[in-house]
């Protein structure tokens, strides 16, 4: 009866983590789950390098565009005033 009372009250579970860990260790349903250890920092490096090169190519294109606009503005400052 005590176990049913604990699991129905989530606040009681927060106050007694050792009861939660004991229930997890003795759970048939949890032991039947297939598990896998994931390490997100161990991901493929080739994808990160490709993404980085795409980002740097985009940055370079933006820089070229900004420099071209600035060059046009320096050559003909009249265009900014709308005349």
Q: In the chain, helix, strand, coil percent, each to 5?
A: 75, 0, 25
pLDDT of residue 65: 92
- Here the tokens at position 26 are 């003795």
More confident residue, 38 or 82: 38
- Here the tokens at position 27 are 């759970």
| Structure letter (DSSP) for residue 39 | -
Mean pLDDT of 27-42: 80
Query: Using an 8 Å Cβ cutoff, are 13 and 7 in contact?
Result: yes
Domain ranges for the chain, please list them: 1-33, 52-83
- Here the tokens at position 5 are 């009372």
Name the phi and psi angles at 76, rounded to 5: -130, 85
pLDDT of residue 76: 72
Please give the mean pLDDT across all residues of the chain: 77
Task: State the pTM of this model.
Answer: 0.34
- Here the tokens at position 8 are 């129905």
């Amino acid at each position: 009866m005590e176990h049913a009372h604990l699991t129905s009250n989530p606040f009681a579970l927060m106050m007694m983590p050792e009861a939660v860990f004991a229930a997890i260790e003795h759970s048939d349903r949890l032991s039947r789950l297939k598990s896998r250890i994931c390490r997100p920092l161990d991901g493929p490096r080739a994808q990160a390098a490709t993404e980085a090169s795409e980002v740097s190519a985009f940055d370079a294109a933006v820089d070229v565009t900004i420099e071209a606009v600035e060059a046009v503005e320096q050559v003909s400052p009249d265009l900014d005033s709308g005349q």
